[in-house]
Amino acid sequence: MTTTLTSTPTDESLIALAADIGRIAAAAEAGHDRDATFVSEAYAAMTDTAYRAMAVPTELGGMGASLRQVVLAEHELARWSGAAALSAAMHLYMTVMQRWRYGRGLADAEAALRKVAADGIVLATSGGNDWVCPTTTAVPVEGGFRLTGRKSFVSQAPAATVLSTSATLGEPGPDAEVLHASVPMSSPGVTIVETWDTLGMRGTASHDVVLDDVFVPTEKITGRRPYGVLSGPLLLAAQYFAPVVAAVYLGVAQGARDEAARMLAAKPDPAPSAVRLLGEMTARLRVARWALLAAIEETGEHFGPDQQVLETLMTAKRHAVLEAVAVTDLALQVAGGPAFARGSKLERAYRDVRGGPFHPLTPEATLETVGAAALAAARG
């Protein structure tokens, strides 16, 4: 039975809530992973407990959790179910971003946050595949625009209520403009195509969403930016995305470490080399977690679009996802043959963490971005 938090949460209460939901998710995790079906049980528990409203300000009906607390909760949930945590992450980072917009007096942000808290709407995002150069097109019409295109990697698509997406206005190229918009999933012309059949994170149901001449009123355009440029709404989204998704992959690796430790503890006389590997996993996870939380502290809770903030948080994400892969590899070495069995918790974790380096900015793109900034600073 999960617990609903009705007042401003502490770190401990949010972690406990995430663990409650995680236990529910874990019971169905193997089946969802096998069949690539959505983590519906976890989402039902999130609805019952208002987990997805944790970052909504209290005056709008939410818990008022900080970004740091969202990260802690997602880390804990991912220990039990990587797919449930990653699905929720795509909604949660959007609520944190909308909270910043609400603080700037934007009415559409307040309305969205109230609906998250009161109605349980689920915010989904697109753009992981077309990023700064959307392949979806926008055509001006009376009262708004018509969007046409196909978006891949829309996590939690079966549960989504609103899609935050983007489209190119004009011919793609340096002179084009990109529109960012909120599109209700119930809009005429919006369909989900079940394409998600992947190595890991299979329970996220990150299917394609097709937009076929979908009308978007002008007032639903949430921002504009130049084509091919990481700026404006996309820069802001990337900043809030980085720490939340990093916490998920660290949480999966933490769960793998815990499982390896359990298996090692069951042996009457574990090999010293295995004990050493357990120590290495523990140390690497601690340092990665410290780095992530320090990056949040350094940038603060309520940052706007800022290139230096992006570099700080993406650097922490890069470290987190790479360490998650390394730690999970070590967990399999400690566990030995049983971890190689299809369907084992470690085998699933091994596959799930492989998704981390794919999220933008990728580890290599992060280094290029940070390096370019360092070079520019050195040149004065």
pLDDT digits (tens, 9 = 90+) for 102-132: 999 998 999 999 999 999 999 999 977 788 9
Residue 157 scores a pLDDT above 50? yes
Domain 137-226 sits in which CATH superfamily?
Butyryl-CoA Dehydrogenase, subunit A, domain 2 (2.40.110.10)
End-to-end CA distance of the chain: 58
Q: Which amino acid makes up residue 6?
A: T
Confidence of residue 256 (pLDDT cuts 50, 70, 90): very high
pLDDT at 4: 54
pLDDT at 5: 56
Residue 205 scores a pLDDT above 50? yes
Residue 161 scores a pLDDT above 50? yes
For the chain, the structural domain boundaries read 11-121, 137-226, 232-379
Neighbours of 189 (CB within 10 A): 14
Mean per-residue pLDDT for 58-71? 97
3-state secondary structure of 216: strand
Lowest mean pLDDT among 46-50, 145-149, 174-178, 190-194: 174-178
Beta bridge partners of residue 169, listed in sequence order: 138, 177
Domain 232-379 sits in which CATH superfamily?
Butyryl-CoA Dehydrogenase, subunit A, domain 3 (1.20.140.10)
Domain 11-121 sits in which CATH superfamily?
Acyl-CoA dehydrogenase/oxidase, N-terminal domain (1.10.540.10)
pLDDT at 350: 98
pLDDT at 351: 98
More confident residue, 172 or 266: 266
Mean per-residue pLDDT for 350-358? 98
pLDDT at 373: 97
Residue 375 scores a pLDDT above 80? yes
Q: What pTM was estimated for this model as a whole?
A: 0.96
Mean per-residue pLDDT for 342-364? 96
Residue 22 scores a pLDDT above 70? yes
Percent of the chain with pLDDT over 70: 98
pLDDT at 1: 39
3-state secondary structure of 334: helix
DSSP letters, 162-178, are EEEEEEEESSSSTT-EE
Beta bridge partners of residue 211, listed in sequence order: 149, 190
**Alpha-carbon torsion (74, 78, 83, 86), positive or negative:** positive
Tokens for 230, please give them: 């990481």
Residue 94 scores a pLDDT above 80? yes
Mean per-residue pLDDT for 208-235? 96
